[in-house]
A and B are shown apart, each in its own frame.
Chain A
């Protein structure tokens, strides 16, 4: 359990996926009346995900500085077009679908945070500091 702490990685990846999805839905909702706008969605969360090369490397300018962990790179997800009928002005955003997705994203985010908190509680228990 202590080599890598996968639970925390997984939870934080899922939480950041939910955050990205939230930004995506916010963009769709903001453009709900923009002519010709095509609704977009993020691909569903998967454990593997896709890793991209880190754009920012951690600098080690002094001997005491820590090196970047191997899994420092943030998991990236593809965006895909969301199906739906287009309004006469070519807009494919459905506010109802977006609201449904938003509720799902909130649940996913809460779940990820609960898992993270659960892991923290477990570690605290191991260290003998319950609560």
Chain B
């Protein structure tokens, strides 16, 4: 049973990490047109060797890439040349990232479900 409990918590940690990633993707897409917004991402780390092996998420990181320069002289933030700094969010990248997060989330969910079935079958031995 101990291994099953480990499996549950590892799969749950995977789902938690992917959900957090998806949350930041949503934030990036929502702020794609916010002037001066830098894309946020969270790094994944494998847990220490002596632990069960859950995945951990690190601190939020801001993308250091150049902010895009948008030409719009009527914008209130436009400088003397008629440009203002937009965000450095790339929607294609965000969509691809969200697809990958979804795929990994589903894989973790499947592992959780299968572990539940296996431990259920084990407990069924006691039931009869």
What's the tally of chain A residues with a CB closer than 8 Å to chain B?
30
In the bound complex, do residue A23 and residue B6 qualify as a contact, i.e. CB atoms below 8 Å apart? yes
**Stretch of B61-69, B76-84, B117-125 that contacts chain A:** B117-125
Chain B 32-71 against A: per-residue CB contact (8 Å), 1 yes, 0 no? 0000000000011110000011110000000000000000
| CB contacts between A and B, total, < 8 Å | 99
In the bound complex, do residue B100 and residue A26 qualify as a contact, i.e. CB atoms below 8 Å apart? no
- Chain B interface, >50% SS class: helix
In the bound complex, do residue A106 and residue B53 qualify as a contact, i.e. CB atoms below 8 Å apart? no
- Chain A interface, >50% SS class: helix
In the bound complex, do residue A26 and residue B125 qualify as a contact, i.e. CB atoms below 8 Å apart? no
What's the tally of chain B residues with a CB closer than 8 Å to chain A?
37
Q: Which residues of B contact A (CB under 8 A)?
A: 1, 3-4, 6-7, 10-11, 13-14, 17-18, 21, 43-46, 52-55, 100-101, 103-104, 107-108, 110-112, 114-115, 117-118, 121-122, 124-125
